[in-house]
Each structure stands twice: as structure tokens, then as C-alpha cells.
């Protein structure tokens, strides 16, 4: 309740199964058993040729509602990985995961979880005529980079969007040292140059630099901001502890800001959002908070299989991979959805069911050639489906680190090259983007030589926000295929009906020719360390 000298207080508390070759996770045995059957059907109902019908069937299964957006560690990811492992098994590919399975498990940090030691009080100096009752998860939540601990009763200031640059300074003339700072999330309208300062981490780092005690984030009616309350389980850009940080509801923010002489909550937001105001102002209340957070870990798993070109493994192999995970119900990774969409199922048809579908087609195509005695490759092919990509490349980083340990730091040339597929389902009339051509002298000529009539757009940089980067960082030359970003990216609108299936077939056939050409090079592509 908020009245004159009122204190608002809220204290809240927050059988391993085996199917022949496959060791299934104990959490979702029935779901995984069903997915194993899906994998068997996918093998028997598809043809060895690379074609739109098979690509569509594979993609629609991965991006189905039954697979629930494939969030890392969630039921959907377990089903998707069981499906793919079953498919590889039916083809007869060699397991290349842990302990003779197709799976490589890894632990990952899923942010933090609230424990019983959380407290927040707001003491108002002047009446604002509004009564509010705080409730756990409804009015506020601590952010995952907030350290555990408490602050005494501390004065508070409002600092607009909390951005400080040469030409835009929310903090000008505002004394914030040892105070709580309340800021709007995101950036003001039509200020594209300020977008990079919008993330929660950036605002916390700026407030800490100025000596603030803690930071409180407000969504407001900002069209570019998603969830109002950000749970501590969500990684928002840093696993490091920065400063006490809390997201609050618009209801609570309205009670705090709307009672000042600066106007109503909506008027205040619109003034800052429309660039009529920049600098903040002191607030007539104090905040005391105690944050209690525990680290939270979960398990994800990669799927890895090897196609031997001869009876024994070749000394060098070409790896083809892409990530199999997506955002689940918007709870794994960074959704771009807004409002009610944020917690809807994110099917991830392009990102990255499209890439995994192409891998499945390539594996089946090569396997059929081997059966016929027509697989004329010099190097084995390793197929990889990474999980945890959306959470921070966790699966591919784990693989790369394990390879360094196994190979005593020399991952290359046992993995002679890595080709990554991430979002290859929206080619339409655009060129196919081939990233990473600067990672080897071999690439420029090679990628053009197999293009045929497919238009290419090459990019030299190997430093990419996808699974090719961990492989490149351990000395493996990489290429990364990509058909470009779109408005449906990281939203529930990335659905199978939006895929350009003729384009996906073209990219998959290019992948086949590119992989074959790489596998048949006289010597492994050289590795070039590119300056960032």
C-alpha cells in the first residue's frame, strides 16, 4: 500500500532408458520414444535424392508444435535430438558422441533462480494517492546479473533511458551516486544510433560507472520492448554480477513516477520516447531491497554422427553442422516478440530447422552413394547438430573444448574444415550469403567453382554469432551459409509456411557440391587467423 510515509513490503519464496544404440534422457522417456519412431519413419518415407518434398517433411517435423520450439534442455529439444539420432541410426552412420552414442551432453548456465531471501520496500515521502500491493512475479523480479545481497533504505532518481553519450546524456546534472536509478528500457524513438545502448547490461554498466547503488528497469508502452518482467532465469547478455538490478511492472512504475509533478506515467514515457525530454529528475521516495538468487544449471545435448568413406575412419574429416535448438516458448535465448507473443511457442522453422533438414538430406544422399559403391570422397563427413546455440553457442563451444582436450590442442586437420548452416530457408530471389571466406586461402575459388547459376554474396569475416565461431577459434577453417535475416526472426511467426522450399533445395544442392569439393581437396584447406 502506498500512502504518506507508507512502506510497501514484499517477501517472496520463490531411469535412464535404452533403445538399442541410444541412451535417452530420463526426463521425457515417452516423448523421446515417440521421436525415435518419427526418425525411423523419416528414413523410410524419404528418397536418397535431395528434393523439396523430403526437406519440407524434415523441417515440418522439427518445427512442429509437438517439438515445442526445441528449447535447450526442454522436452522439445530432447525430442528433436532423439529424432535426428534415430534418423542417423537408421542410415547406419557411426555414432560420434559420448560413450558410443550419438549424443554429446553438456551443462549450461540458465541464469539464476530466486531463493527465499528476497525483500523490497518503497518508502514514499509525499502522498501520491495510489494504493498498490506488490506480488511475487507480478510487480517485480531481480535480473540475472544482480548479485545477492541487500541495500539499506536508499534515495532514488529517474534517469530517462539511462543512456550517456556525447550527444545524448540522460544523466546530465543528475546526482546518482549511491542512489537507485530508475530507467526506461530500450531507446527513444527514431534514435537508431542509440539502439546499441538499449540492452539491460549496457544500462547497468553505465549506472555503475556513475556510482549508482542499483538499477530498476521500466518497460512502459515501448513498442520495441518485450516482456515487462524479465525472470532471472533469462540470460540478458552477461553471467557476471554487475549491480543490484530489478525489472518492475508498469503498474508499480506508474505509481512511482506518475505521482510526481512531471505528469502521468504515460505522459512521462511519451516525453522521453519522443525526444522531448532527455534528462531525468530526483524522486520523492526511497527503496530498500534484498536480492536472493542461486545459480541454475541445466543439461543440453548435441547430436554427432560420422559417415566413413571407407571401412576405417579417415585421418581428416569435413564437418557439416548447424544448431538444432530454438527459443522454446520464448524462454530460451532472446525473443524479439512483443507483448503477448513473447511466451508463445517459437517454432524456429528457418532458425534453424532449415539447416538441420539440409543436413539430413545430405547425410541420406551420401549414405546411398556409399551403399552403391559410388561415394568418391577422400575424407569422412561428420554431421553435427548443436544445441544451446540460442543460449550462447553452448553446444559447439563444449564440442570444441572437448576436441582440444582429446587432440591435445590440435583439432585441425583431423577436422579439416567446418561448414555451418544457420537460417538457409528464405533464399527467395536473394544471393546466398557465404560467410568466412577469409578463414582459408582455398575458399574464394572453391565456393565460386560449385555455384553454378546460384548467386553468391561472400563475406570474409569468420567471426559470426553462430556455431562456426567456436570451431574457427580452435584452428579450423570455416564457411557459414545463410540466406539473411527477416522480420519473423526470433518470433513465433518463423513458421514452416514461410519457407522458400525451392530455394532450400538449391542451397542444399550447393551444400552437397561444396562439401564434396572440400572433401576431395588434395590437402586440407589452410587456416588463416583473421584479425578482428
pLDDT digits (tens, 9 = 90+) for 142-190: 999 999 999 888 999 999 999 999 999 999 999 999 999 999 999 999 9
| pLDDT above 60 (res 19) | no
Task: Identify the domain boundary among 258, 291, 324.
Answer: 291
pLDDT at 7: 37
Domain membership of residue 441 as a residue range: 21-109+297-519
Say if residue 232 is in the same domain as residue 313: no
Same domain (yes/no): 85, 170: no
**pLDDT over 70 for what percent of the chain?**
92
Whether 146 and 243 have beta carbons less than 8 Å apart is answered as yes
pLDDT of the residue at 134: 61
DSSP 410: -
**Domain-embedded: residue 132:** yes
Q: Are residues 340 and 407 in the same domain?
A: yes
Minimal CA–CA distance to 27: which of 105, 86, 114? 105
Residues 283 and 223 in one domain: yes
pLDDT tens-digit series, residues 53-111: 999 999 999 999 999 999 999 999 999 999 999 999 999 999 999 999 999 999 987 77
Residue 307 domain-assigned? Answer: yes
129 pLDDT band (50/70/90 cuts)? very low
State the alpha helices, DSSP H only, in 385-429.
389-392, 394-406
218-239 pLDDT per residue, tens: 999 998 887 889 989 887 777 7
CATH, residue 488? 3.40.630.10
Q: Does residue 101 share a domain with residue 121? A: no
Q: Using the predicted structure, report yes or no on whether residue 369 has a pLDDT greater than 60.
A: yes
Query: Looking at the structure, do residues 421 and 489 belong to the same domain, yes or no?
Result: yes
3-state secondary structure of 199: coil
Does 360 have pLDDT greater than 90?
Answer: yes
Q: In a 10 Å sphere around its CB, with 0-12 CB exposed, 13-18 middle and 19+ buried, how is residue 453 labelled?
A: exposed
- For residues 303 and 424, state if they share a domain: yes
Residue 160 located in a structural domain: yes
CATH number at residue 123: 3.50.30.30
> Which pTM does this prediction carry?
0.78
pLDDT for 259 equals 67
Domain membership of residue 531 (yes or no) is: no
CA 53/CA 76 separation, integer angstroms: 23
Give a yes or no: residue 14 inside a domain: no
CA distances from 221 to 151, 271, 330 (A): 29, 12, 20
495 and 376: one domain?
A: yes
pLDDT in tens, 254-294: 988 986 778 899 999 999 999 999 999 999 888 988 898 98
* pLDDT surpasses 60 at 421: yes
Query: Are residues 180 and 210 in contact, defined by beta-carbon separation less than 8 angstroms?
Result: no
Averaged confidence pLDDT in the chain: 90
* Residue 22 pLDDT exceeds 50: no
- 282 and 371, same domain (yes or no): no
Domain contains 491:
yes
Do residues 360 and 479 both lie within one domain?
A: yes
For 160, counting Cβ atoms within 10 Å of its Cβ (0-12 exposed, 13-18 middle, 19+ buried), the class is buried
Domain count, the chain: 2
Q: What is the pLDDT of residue 117?
A: 83
Residues 185 and 161 in one domain: yes
Residue 13 resides in a domain: no
The residue-averaged pLDDT of 297-313 equals 95
pLDDT at 13 over 50: no
Q: Are residues 340 and 236 in the same domain?
A: no
**Confidence at 112, pLDDT banded by 50, 70, 90:** confident
| pLDDT value at 521 more than 90 | yes
Amino acid at each position: 500500500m502506498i500512502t504518506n510515509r507508507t512502506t510497501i513490503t514484499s517477501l517472496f519464496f520463490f531411469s535412464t532408458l535404452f533403445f538399442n544404440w541410444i541412451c535417452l534422457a530420463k526426463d521425457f522417456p515417452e516423448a523421446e520414444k515417440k521421436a525415435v519412431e518419427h526418425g525411423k519413419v523419416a528414413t523410410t518415407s524419404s528418397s536418397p535424392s535431395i528434393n523439396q518434398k523430403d526437406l519440407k517433411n524434415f523441417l515440418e517435423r522439427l518445427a512442429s508444435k509437438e517439438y515445442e520450439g526445441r528449447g535447450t534442455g526442454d522436452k522439445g529439444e530432447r525430442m528433436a535430438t532423439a529424432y535426428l539420432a534415430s534418423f542417423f541410426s537408421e542410415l547406419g552412420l557411426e555414432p560420434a558422441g559420448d560413450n558410443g552414442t550419438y549424443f554429446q551432453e553438456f551443462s549450461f548456465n540458465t541464469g539464476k533462480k530466486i531463493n527465499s531471501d528476497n525483500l523490497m520496500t518503497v518508502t514514499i515521502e509525499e502522498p501520491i494517492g495510489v494504493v498498490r500491493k506488490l506480488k511475487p512475479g507480478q510487480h517485480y523480479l531481480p535480473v540475472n546479473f544482480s548479485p545477492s545481497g541487500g541495500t539499506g533504505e536508499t534515495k532514488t532518481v529517474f534517469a530517462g533511458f539511462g543512456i550517456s553519450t556525447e550527444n545524448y546524456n540522460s544523466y546530465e546534472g543528475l546526482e546518482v551516486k549511491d542512489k537507485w536509478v530508475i530507467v526506461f528500457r530500450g531507446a527513444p524513438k527514431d534514435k537508431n544510433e542509440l539502439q546499441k545502448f538499449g540492452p539491460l547490461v549496457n544500462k547497468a554498466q553505465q549506472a555503475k560507472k556513475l556510482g549508482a547503488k542499483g538499477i530498476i528497469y521500466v518497460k512502459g508502452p515501448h513498442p520495441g520492448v518485450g516482456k515487462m518482467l524479465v525472470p532471472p532465469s533469462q540470460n540478458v547478455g552477461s553471467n557476471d554480477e554487475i549491480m543490484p538490478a530489478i525489472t518492475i511492472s508498469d503498474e508499480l512504475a506508474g505509481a512511482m513516477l506518475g505521482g510526481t509533478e512531471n505528469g502521468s506515467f504515460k505522459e512521462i514515457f511519451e516525453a522521453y520516447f519522443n525526444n522531448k525530454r532527455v534528462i531525468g529528475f530526483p524522486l520523492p521516495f526511497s527503496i530498500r531491497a534484498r536480492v536472493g538468487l542461486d545459480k541454475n544449471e541445466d543439461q543440453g545435448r548435441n547430436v554427432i554422427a560420422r559417415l566413413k568413406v571407407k571401412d576405417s575412419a579417415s585421418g581428416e574429416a569435413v564437418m557439416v553442422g548447424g544448431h538444432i535448438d530454438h527459443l522454446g516458448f520464448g524462454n530460451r535465448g532472446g525473443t524479439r516478440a512483443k507483448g503477448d507473443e513473447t511466451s508463445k511457442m517459437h517454432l524456429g522453422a528457418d532458425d534453424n530447422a532449415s539447416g538441420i533438414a539440409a543436413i539430413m538430406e545430405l547425410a541420406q544422399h551420401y549414405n546411398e552413394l556409399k551403399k552403391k559403391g559410388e561415394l568418391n570422397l577422400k575424407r569422412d563427413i561428420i554431421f553435427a547438430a548443436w544445441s544451446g546455440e540460442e543460449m550462447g553457442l553452448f553446444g559447439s563451444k563444449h564440442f570444441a573444448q572437448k576436441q582440444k582436450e582429446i587432440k591435445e590442442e590440435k583439432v585441425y586437420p583431423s577436422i579439416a574444415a567446418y561448414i555451418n548452416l544457420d537460417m538457409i530457408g528464405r533464399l527467395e530471389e536473394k544471393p546466398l550469403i557465404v560467410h568466412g571466406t577469409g578463414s582459408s586461402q582455398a575458399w574464394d575459388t572453391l565456393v565460386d567453382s560449385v555455384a553454378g547459376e546460384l548467386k553468391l554474396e561472400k563475406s570474409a569475416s569468420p567471426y559470426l554469432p553462430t556455431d562456426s565461431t567456436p570451431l574457427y577459434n580452435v584452428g579450423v577453417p570455416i564457411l557459414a551459409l545463410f540466406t539473411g535475416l527477416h522480420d519473423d526472426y526470433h518470433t513465433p511467426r518463423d513458421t514452416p509456411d514461410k519457407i522458400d522450399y525451392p530455394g532450400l533445395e538449391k542451397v542444399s544442392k550447393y551444400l552437397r557440391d561444396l562439401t564434396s569439393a572440400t572433401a576431395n581437396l588434395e590437402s586440407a584447406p589452410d587456416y588463416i587467423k583473421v584479425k578482428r
